[in-house]
Chains A and B, each alone.
Chain A
Amino acid sequence: GAVVSQHPSWVICKSGTSVKIECRSLDFQATTMFWYRQFPKQSLMLMATSNEGSKATYEQGVEKDKFLINHASLTLSTLTVTSAHPEDSSFYICSASPSGEQYFGPGTRLTVT
């Protein structure tokens, strides 16, 4: 199957700082990627759709100025959590699809202290 990677796998940052998470499709090109957030023992919630070469589309209730998404190439999308706060601590997962089903990255666990 298709492979999607994320970096870093986990990150700890101090409140007020920004952190960038990368999502790469390793063996296919993806004009669209998706970012999800998963709080402990909860379901995945779609945050935004990352579109190569254009602005991301955010789901209702997601602050676009806080979660900056850049999809600069057909294999890379980045999510930057700006001015992170403890409530942003979560498991962030990206996904992409060569066709049909989505393939998910391994996730990035963000802890804001």
Chain B
Amino acid sequence: AQKVTQAQTEISVVEKEDVTLDCVYETRDTTYYLFWYKQPPSGELVFLIRRNSFDEQNEISGRYSWNFQKSTSSFNFTITASQVVDSAVYFCALDTSGTYKYIFGTGTRLKVLA
């Protein structure tokens, strides 16, 4: 079975705090892709990152960083020094074998308070 679990339904932090959003996935495929998307109140999904199953290097992009660990089937997302504009729903998604048919997690609603 293929599945993406985002156990954190909602997280609230105060501005400038660091926050980590968890993502755990399940798949039997050896080739797969993991994604993070941001969905602000406007509803439009914003692409954040794509990672294939053969690349376990962690990635940093500005205040964003991602930790991919195949051993624990996790692909966690950390925002450093959070800002109010980071408030959104964040989705983790899985694409097995490059079919482009994404399996989304249930999303984590992040609220950053000023």
Q: Complex: how many Å from CA A106 to CA B40?
A: 11
B25 within 8 A of A: no
Chain B residues whose CB sits within 8 angstroms of the CB of A104 once the complex forms = 37, 44-45, 47
Q: What is the interface size of chain B, counting residues whose CB is below 8 A from a CB of the partner? A: 19
By a beta-carbon cutoff of 8 Å, the part of chain A in contact with chain B is 1, 32, 34, 41-46, 49, 91, 93, 95, 97, 100-107, 109
Rounded to whole angstroms, the CA-CA distance of A82 and B33 in the bound complex is 34
Partner-A contacts on B (CB < 8 A)? 33, 35, 37, 42-45, 47, 50, 91, 100-107, 109
How close is A17's CB to chain B, nearest CB, in angstroms? Answer: 23
A18 to chain B, nearest CB (A): 23
Which 10 pairs across A and B sit closest by C-beta, in order of nearness? A104-B45, A106-B44, A101-B50, A107-B43, A43-B104, A43-B106, A44-B104, A101-B47, A43-B107, A97-B100
